[in-house]
Amino acid sequence: MDPMKKEDHSQVFQKRGSKQKKQPRRPKKVRSKAFKEGFSGYLFMSPTIFTIGIFVVIPILYALYLSFNDVQLLGGIGYEFIGLDNYTRSFDDDRAMIALKNTAEYVFIVVPVQTCLALLLAAALNSNIRGKNAFRIIFFLPTVTSSAVLTIIFMWMYNPDGLINTILAFLQMPTYNWLADPSIALKSIMIMNIWATAPFFMVIYLAAMQDISDSVYEAATIDGANWWQKFIYITIPILKPVTFFVVVMGVIGTFQLFDQSYIFSGGSGGPNNSTLTIVLLIYQYAFKSLDMGYASALAVILAIIIMVVTLIQKKFFGEEKLHD
Amino acid sequence: MKKRLFSKPFIYTILILYAVITFIPFLWAILSSFKSLEEIVSGITFLPETFTLDNYIQIFSQEPLFLRWMFNSIFITACMVFLNIIFNSMAGYALARIKFAGRKFWFFLILVVLMIPFQVTLIPSYLILKMFGWLNTYQGLIIPGMVNATFIFMMRQFFLNFPKELEEAAQMDGLSRIGTFFKIVMPLAKPALAAQAVFIFMSSWNDFMRPLIIMSDEEMFTLTLGLNTFKGQYISFWNLIMAASTLMTIPSLLIYAFFNRYFIKGVTFTGGK
CATH number at residue B130: 1.10.3720.10
Q: Do A163 and A226 fall within a single domain?
A: yes
Measured between alpha carbons, how far is A243 from A318 in angstroms, rounded to an integer? 13
Handedness of CA B168, B170, B174, B179 (dihedral sign): negative
- Cβ(B226)–Cβ(B181) under 8 Å? no
So what's the pLDDT on residue B6?
A: 47
B215 contacts: CB under 8 Å, gap ≥ 6: B136, B140, B141, B221, B222, B225
Position A24 scores a pLDDT of: 53
**Are the C-beta atoms of residues A62 and B128 closer than 8 Å to each other?**
yes
Pairwise CB contact (< 8 Å): B11 & A147: no
B94 assigned to some structural domain: yes
Q: Where do runs of H (alpha helix) occur along A127-258?
A: 132-139, 141-144, 147-157, 163-170, 185-210, 214-222, 227-230, 236-238, 240-255
Cβ <8 Å between A38 and B100: yes
Residue A28 burial by Cβ neighbours in a 10 Å radius (0-12, 13-18, 19+): exposed
Rg of chain B's alpha carbons, rounded to an integer? 23
Q: Please check whether residue A69 touches B, CB under 8 A.
A: no
- Residues A62 and A177 grouped into a single domain: no
CA B165 to chain centre: 34
In whole angstroms, what is the distance from residue A63 CA to residue A66 CA? 5
Residues from chain B that touch A58, judged by Cβ atoms under 8 A, are: 124, 128
Contact A283, A302 (CB under 8 A): no
DSSP letter assigned to residue A159: S
Q: From the list B100, B126, B152, which residue is nearest A48 (CB)?
A: B152
Provide the pLDDT for residue B121.
Answer: 94
What is the C-alpha separation between B91 and A139, in angstroms, rounded? Answer: 34
A132 in contact with B at a CB cutoff of 8 Å?
no
pLDDT confidence of residue A137: 86
Residue B219 domain-assigned (yes or no): yes
Residue A8: its pLDDT value, please? 43
pLDDT of residue B124: 96
Distance between CA atoms of residues A265 and A179, nearest Å? 9
Residue B188 lies inside a defined structural domain of this protein: yes
Shortest CA gap B173–chain A (Å): 16
Q: Predicted ipTM? A: 0.90
- pLDDT at A262 (0 to 100): 95
Interchain proximity B146–A51, CB inside 8 Å:
yes
Give the separation between CA B50 and CA B53, rounded to whole angstroms.
10
Q: Are residues A33 and A96 in the same domain?
A: no
A63 and A101 in a common domain? no
Tell me what pLDDT residue A15 has. 43
Q: What domain range includes position A11?
A: 2-67
**B32 neighbourhood in chain A, CB within 8 Å:** 156
Check B90 against A48: CB less than 8 A apart: yes
- Across the interface, whether the CB atoms of A37 and B100 are under 8 A apart is answered yes
A140 assigned to some structural domain: yes
- pLDDT tens digits, residue range A274-304? 999 999 999 999 999 999 999 999 999 999 9
Of A51, A161, A287, the CB nearest to B143: A51
Quote the domain boundaries for residue B198: 64-233
State how far the Cα of A125 lies from the Cα of B15, in Å rounded to an integer. Answer: 8
Q: Which residues of A touch B195 (CB under 8 A)?
A: none
- Is there a domain that residue B262 lies in? no
Please list every residue in chain A whose beta carbon sits closer than 8 Å to the beta carbon of residue B238: 156, 159
Distance of alpha carbon A15 from alpha carbon A142, whole angstroms: 52
| Burial environment of residue A31 by CB neighbours within 10 A (0 to 12, 13 to 18, 19 or more) | middle
Cβ–Cβ of B116/A56 closer than 8 Å? yes
Residues A303 and A220 in one domain: yes
Q: Answer whether residue A77 is part of any domain.
A: no
Are A59 and A125 contained in the same domain? Answer: no
Which of B94, B99, B228 lies nearest to residue A263, judging by beta carbons? B228
Return the pLDDT at A13: 43
Is A72 among the domain residues? no
- CB atoms A127 and B4 under 8 Å: yes
Shortest CA distance to A290 belongs to which of A68, A61, A78?
A: A78
Q: Is residue B79 part of a domain?
A: yes
Among A15, A34, A67, the domain boundary falls at A67
Total number of domains in chain A: 2
Interface check A258 vs B, CB under 8 A: yes
Q: How many CB atoms lie within 10 A of CB B55?
A: 24
| Same domain for A163 and A15 | no
Within the 183-202 window of chain A, which residues sit less than 8 Å (CB to CB) from chain B?
Answer: 195, 199-200
- A115 and A225 housed in the same domain: yes
Check whether residue A39 and residue A164 sit in a common domain.
no
How far apart (Å, rounded) are the C-alpha atoms in residues B148 and B110? 9
Residue A164, burial from CB neighbour count under 10 angstroms (0-12, 13-18, 19+): buried
Q: pLDDT by residue (tens digit) across A128-137?
A: 788 888 898 8
Q: What is the mean pLDDT of each run of 10 residues along chain B (273 residues)?
A: 58 92 93 89 78 90 92 97 96 93 94 88 95 95 95 92 84 85 90 90 94 95 94 88 93 88 72 45
A45 touches chain B (CB under 8 A): yes
* Same domain for A201 and A157: yes
B120 chain-A contacts, CB cut-off 8 A: 59-60, 63, 299-300, 302-303
In sequence order, which residues have a C-beta less than 8 Å from that of residue B38 and are 6 or more positions away? none
From B252, B268, B270, residue closest to A145, measured CB to CB: B252
Which residue from A146, A203, A282 is facing B264, i.e. has the nearest CB?
A203
Please give the tally of structural domains in chain B: 1
CATH number of the domain within which A157 lies: 1.10.3720.10
Any domain includes A35: yes
The two counts, helices (H) then strands (E), for chain B are 15, 0
CA atoms within 13 A on the CB side of B222: 29
Domain-ending residue, one of A37, A67, A97:
A67
**Chain A: nearest CA to B258, how far in angstroms?**
11
Report how far residue A110's alpha carbon sits from residue A132's, in angstroms, rounded to the nearest whole number: 26
Distance (Å) from the C-alpha of residue A237 to the closest C-alpha of chain B? 18
Amino acid identity of residue B212, one-letter, is: L
* Pair A20, A169 in one domain: no
Q: What is the DSSP letter of A234?
A: I
User: Does A240 map to a domain?
Assistant: yes
Contact A127 B121 (CB under 8 A): no
Burial class of residue A137 in the structure, from the number of CB atoms within 10 Å of its CB (0-12 exposed, 13-18 middle, 19+ buried)? middle
Distance to chain B for A132, nearest Cα, Å: 9
Nearest chain A Cα distance for residue B30, angstroms? 10
Residue type, B250: I
Same domain, A184 and A300: yes
Instruction: Specify if A51 maps to a domain.
Output: yes
Whether A81 maps to a domain, the answer reads no
Low-confidence ranges of chain A (pLDDT < 70): 1-31, 317-324
Query: Is residue B251 in some structural domain?
Result: no
Distance CA A271, CA A101 (A): 15
pLDDT of amino acid A21: 46
Residue A79 belongs to a domain:
no
